[in-house]
Amino acid sequence: MFDLADPGAESPGESWLRLRCADAGFPPLTAQIEVPRGRGRPYRLDMGWPERMLAVEYDGREFHEGTEQRARDERRRAHLARLGWTVVGVGAGEVLGRSLHLELGLAELLGVEPQLRTRTW
């Protein structure tokens, strides 16, 4: 289990999300991906596969709940989409719940078959 630890994780939710992707057999994720945006600080994506321009972000309640925060996330992700990135935002329900929609959706985007099994954590 310690081989899955990543010092780049900035929240427990990000760690749980990474573990869920590992359990599904997805390729290793890169944490804290920086994406230049022209002016200002670069965007920083929680984790993903930079070579595929695919990112997954954990939308925790503290920073992503409320109308204003959701609107900010939508604008940011729309700009990232114009830069060629696909960004999937997931919350605690998707990460900690029993549904396999997360694995199935990411597998489709990655073009791989997920390993659907009982979690190891």
Q: pLDDT (tens digit, 9 = 90+) per residue, 7-26?
A: 555 577 899 999 999 999 99
What is the average pLDDT across 49-56?
98
Band of pLDDT at residue 63, cut at 50, 70 and 90? low
C-alpha distance from residue 99 to each of 9, 72, 92, 102, 103 (Å): 23, 27, 12, 7, 9
Rounded to whole angstroms, the Cα distance separating 66 from 3 reads 36
The full set of domains in the chain, from first to last, is 9-110 (3.40.960.10)
Specify the pLDDT at position 97: 86
**67-91: pLDDT as tens digits:** 778 788 899 999 999 999 999 999 9
pLDDT category at 1 given cuts 50, 70, 90 is very low
- Count Cβ atoms below 10 Å from residue 94 Cβ, excluding itself: 18
| Whether the predicted model's global pTM rises above the 0.85 cut | no
